[in-house]
């Protein structure tokens, strides 16, 4: 009996890569699933992987699990409600939303077009909002009706969002926003029995294989960047075992799991009075020199 036995989850972007690994891992742990995938390519091109959600559902069913497919756009407001309604109609409840869907439009900031910026922000940030917002409304109604809620939101951030990535300004901005959204969700939804956490995976996906961040597997060695390495933490966070773990950002790489510290206060200087502009340089440089070094921006020389 798996740790997600009896749980019902929606996994977005679950037709390939990380999302597929999450869906298969959750099903193996006993969860019943709504497998969402729009069938777009790495850059959001329509129809590139049409039928991916259905194929994952077939694989889950062949292994004895329960799943239904959904091919909606995660950033569509009404589609978010359809996914929640599908879970309830199919399985009688909803316990978790795993937000994973997304794509990239890699550009240096000075060449990024408004259309590329908007497309990336939409699929990641709005995409994390729509389904979770409708799920939260359902869980709030359950709580108000006196029915116990023990639900989960699992978001997908990135090292690009936590520390920045050269050539990925839109993607980094979206993923940083998701980390902040997770903190707010955790604070606001705790009272109704919902936890919210985020993952920053280090794994080989269609997005990493398109550019400078390719993560090739070494023959005969532990595949550090296999998407399947990320699935056990997702299953844990969806399960009842993770009750009370909320507002956290986890980074994973191979067999390592890190807990991100996030933004926090570091060295300070208190003059006790208003600063003069010409004294700020010495103070700022002293503060920068005394702080713990930040992780470098990905791709920075």
Tokens 């300070």 belong to: 268
pLDDT in tens, 184-203: 999 999 999 999 999 999 87
Distance CA 91, CA 207 (A): 32
Instruction: Give the neighbor-by-neighbor strand order of the sheet with 256-259.
Output: 67-70, 32-36, 8-11, 96-98, 151-156, 194-202, 249-253, 256-259
pLDDT in tens, 207-266: 555 444 455 666 777 788 898 999 999 999 999 999 999 999 999 988 999 999 888 888
pLDDT in tens, 134-175: 999 999 999 999 999 999 999 999 988 888 788 899 999 999
Q: Which two tokens stand for residue 231?
A: 């699935």
For residue 231, CA distances in Å to 6, 25, 167, 191, 257 come to 18, 6, 28, 28, 12
Q: How many H-runs (helices) and E-runs (strands) does the chain carry?
A: 9, 8
Distance CA 86, CA 33 (A): 10
Active site residues: 158, 171, 175
- Weakest mean pLDDT among 105-114, 148-157, 236-245, 291-300: 291-300
Q: How far apart are the first and last CA of the chain?
A: 49
State percent of the chain over pLDDT 90.
75
pTM of the model as a whole = 0.90
Question: What fold, for 8-259?
Answer: Rossmann fold (3.40.50)
- In this predicted structure, the answer to whether residue 50 has a pLDDT above a threshold of 60 is yes
């Amino acid at each position: 009996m798996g740790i997600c036995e009896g749980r019902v989850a929606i996994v977005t972007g679950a037709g390939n890569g990380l999302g597929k690994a999450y869906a298969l891992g959750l099903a193996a742990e006993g969860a019943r699933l709504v497998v969402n995938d729009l069938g777009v390519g790495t850059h959001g091109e329509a129809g590139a992987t049409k039928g991916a959600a259905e194929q994952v559902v077939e694989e889950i069913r062949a292994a004895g699990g329960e799943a239904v497919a959904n091919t909606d756009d995660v950033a569509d407001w009404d589609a978010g409600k359809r996914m929640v309604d599908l879970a309830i109609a199919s399985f009688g409840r909803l316990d978790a939303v795993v937000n994973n869907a997304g794509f990239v439009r890699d550009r240096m900031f000075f060449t990024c077009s408004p259309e590329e910026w908007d497309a990336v922000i939409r699929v990641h940030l709005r995409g994390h909002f729509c389904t979770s917002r409708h799920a939260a409304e359902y869980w709030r109604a359950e709580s108000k009706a006196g029915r116990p809620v023990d639900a989960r939101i699992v978001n997908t951030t990135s090292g690009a969002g936590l520390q920045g990535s050269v050539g990925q300004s839109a993607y980094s901005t979206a993923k940083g926003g998701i980390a902040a959204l997770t903190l707010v969700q955790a604070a606001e939804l705790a009272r109704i029995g919902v936890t919210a956490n985020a993952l920053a995976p280090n794994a080989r996906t269609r997005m990493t294989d398109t550019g400078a961040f390719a993560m090739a597997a070494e023959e005969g060695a532990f595949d550090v960047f296999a998407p399947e390495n990320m699935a056990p933490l997702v299953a844990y966070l969806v399960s009842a075992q993770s009750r009370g773990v909320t507002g956290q950002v986890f980074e994973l790489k191979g067999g390592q799991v890190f807990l991100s510290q996030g933004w926090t206060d570091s060295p300070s200087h208190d003059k006790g009075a208003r600063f003069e502009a010409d004294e700020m340089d010495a103070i700022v440089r002293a503060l920068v020199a005394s702080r713990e070094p930040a992780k470098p921006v990905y791709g920075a020389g």
